[in-house]
Structure 1
């Protein structure tokens, strides 16, 4: 049995990146050559050196939704934070949300967000989860627009600061297109437009897929037997043209690199019997942990993740447990920055 406790390490609190690097592609990049157990230390702008014409980078083009609202309880005026996870029904205007502090929010409570937007709690889902029905004098499009106007960038809780103007752009990838995520696909945050252009000029295929991140990937694993952990479902889209380019690269034995755990989870959710990628439109709750055979990508870009997280478990499945833990030990020693705004690693 693979145990959750196997993936624990002392979290380097002084290395948690609370702000992005000054320039996207100037973050540090650890290169892990898993077949020869070799580790190099570069910068993200060095990435094109490791790819050749015909190789593929798979990018998750999801866009972060300003999902954090701040309101007050009717009557008591208590301040409540509401995190919009996903819209359940556009006609009923019901949303799956998290609330904080949860102990103050019960079924029947009404919340006022200002600007004509209110909500009523109509059900419980988890200890912090609620079903919230929004009320606004306007059609669905105007409701969404109002949420975007007053909502805040949903920075991860560990950052522990108010969002700044810079976060609106830096907590998005430069290729973000399709709105729907409540968390950024952070491996993609390191790409600048200039770096993408350099990759294109070299003949590297930049292929886009979409997986809208919820908070499921970041939920702690609360069971010791990780095979018993259940992932939340997330919406995923993989188009025919993307499949064609990726499958052609696989056929030609080119490097196929998943940019981030979300891209990897998406492509591993739609594999054909002959180990090619199929078009896909639907929901996935794919949970990848060791041992696991990867079918599509033979390279991966990712950030440095939290102990005992599902993200770290995927990385160990791809890289190998011992080499991953060695890389993390070296990363801590060499002061790599961790988590969403942190540094990156390229696994080859």
Structure 2
């Protein structure tokens, strides 16, 4: 039974009004054999069902479909102490070098912010692991550099200056599947917990709405005259962070790193009013672009969006004005790509500026992702959508089924 919700200011929202009972057996622990065989719930005032393989015919022709082309890294590395105790190091984001591309290209040394599992068993000193790479054995060592409130800073060192850190992770890392799957990652996850259009390494969680797409579907989109484009937002572990505070105003939103090129900015202007977002990470990126443009229009050159900016900045600027200002910023600075960070929190009360339709999976109770869906569909619609999915055998969470949601009026 879904709980009732009251209309209120965004920061006063109680998370208990945005939850539902998710039975364990409704969580998809593994993907379907074929990516596009998932069920598709369509919400456009009413609710109906279809198959994801039909998505090209369900989207308006001459519209724009945007993807997040980030690539999941093999972020989990296991070490064993001489005592037999197993230590798991989960790489979250680079510290030195801080640039994600440079971090993967680093030779002999790279420093990362990490979550360390079974940390109490690692008292001090270095931990070692041998890596087989290109017929050679590489010695990898890790050491603690700093303890943070929610993580640790770990230095990785290896004894071959021809091997990059990206290659080290590819050789020994494991796919960081979501904790709610309650199983170890397997070989199939290396392929299936990755979109077919993934391109830029940097995420520790997949933009899972895109896991249903196949090359055949992409070809059909082209044949239908549906334009596609990309943004890049590197998904952090914070995407799984539940809202533990009673009110949304007390929740600290995670921050994520994103990139958008000039071509995509032009597409947004060309197709404004007819844009479909693949996944909540793409939504976060697209909506953040508008507010970055507003900041520049207001004379604020701090190109970062915090969780409350969208509720506090002026709202009278058009999308054309905001994106136009971002384009001018890139041209003036001779940049081809906008790089920024966003901690935007999209919850009921938010007015969408860029996205008109949303393709997304079914999200956890008490999550910011569910709040985003509630904001997008407006009012009580999210409850009807989730009740329908629960009552009609839809599979939930990362490896689950999909939905095509139209923006509520």
Within the candidate set 249, 267, 270, 1:248 is matched to 270
Q: Deviations over 1:138-197 (max 9, x none)?
A: 338523211211101111112222322221111111100111101100000010110010
Within the candidate set 277, 297, 309, 1:258 is matched to 277
SS at match of 1:297: coil
The whole-number CA distance in structure 1 between the counterparts of 2:163 and 2:374 is 43
Structure 2: segments with no counterpart, 5+ residues: 1-11, 98-105, 132-138, 294-316, 328-337
Structure of larger gyration radius = 2
Within the candidate set 38, 41, 60, 1:30 is matched to 41
Classify 1:102/1:10 alpha carbon distance in 2 versus 1 (closer, same or farther; 3 Å). farther
Which residue of the partner structure matches residue 72 of structure 1? 80
**Residues 123-272 of structure 1: pairs in structure 2 closer than 5 A:** 123-127=146-150, 129-139=151-161, 141-250=163-272, 253=273, 255-271=274-290, 272=293
SS at match of 1:315: helix
SS at match of 2:164: helix
Matched, 1:7 2:18: yes
The whole-number CA distance in structure 1 between the counterparts of 2:36 and 2:178 is 21
Which residue of the partner structure matches residue 307 of structure 2? none
Which residue of the partner structure matches residue 322 of structure 1? 380
Kindly indicate whether the alpha-carbon contact (under 8 Å) linking 1:217 and 1:231 is maintained by their aligned counterparts in 2.
Answer: no
* Alignment length (residue pairs): 339
Structure 1: segments with no counterpart, 5+ residues: none
Matched, 1:113 2:129: yes
Classify 1:134/1:346 alpha carbon distance in 2 versus 1 (closer, same or farther; 3 Å). same
Kindly indicate whether the alpha-carbon contact (under 8 Å) linking 1:12 and 1:332 is maintained by their aligned counterparts in 2.
Answer: no
> Any runs of at least 4 consecutive aligned residues in structure 1 with deviations exceeding 4 A, and if so which?
none
The whole-number CA distance in structure 2 between the counterparts of 1:67 and 1:261 is 22
The whole-number CA distance in structure 2 between the counterparts of 1:114 and 1:89 is 23
Kindly indicate whether the alpha-carbon contact (under 8 Å) linking 1:68 and 1:151 is maintained by their aligned counterparts in 2.
Answer: yes
Within the candidate set 59, 76, 96, 1:89 is matched to 96
Task: Report deviation, 1:337.
Answer: 0.4
Kindly indicate whether the alpha-carbon contact (under 8 Å) linking 1:69 and 1:113 is maintained by their aligned counterparts in 2.
Answer: no
- The higher-RCO structure (CA 8 Å, 6+ apart) is 1
TM-score (ref. length: structure 2)? 0.79
Q: Deviations over 1:37-95 (max 9, x none)?
A: x000111012122223320111000001000111023x544101111111110376211
Within the candidate set 357, 363, 369, 1:299 is matched to 357
Task: Report deviation, 1:263.
Answer: 0.1
Kindly indicate whether the alpha-carbon contact (under 8 Å) linking 2:57 and 2:224 is maintained by their aligned counterparts in 1.
Answer: no
Kindly indicate whether the alpha-carbon contact (under 8 Å) linking 2:145 and 2:152 is maintained by their aligned counterparts in 1.
Answer: yes
The whole-number CA distance in structure 2 between the counterparts of 1:187 and 1:215 is 16
TM-score (ref. length: structure 1)? 0.93
Matched, 1:274 2:311: no
The whole-number CA distance in structure 2 between the counterparts of 1:189 and 1:256 is 19
Task: Report deviation, 1:125.
Answer: 1.5
Matched, 1:54 2:77: no
The whole-number CA distance in structure 2 between the counterparts of 1:265 and 1:223 is 22
Which residue of the partner structure matches residue 348 of structure 2? 290
Within the candidate set 304, 319, 336, 2:394 is matched to 336
Task: Report deviation, 1:105.
Answer: 4.1
Kindly indicate whether the alpha-carbon contact (under 8 Å) linking 1:99 and 1:105 is maintained by their aligned counterparts in 2.
Answer: no
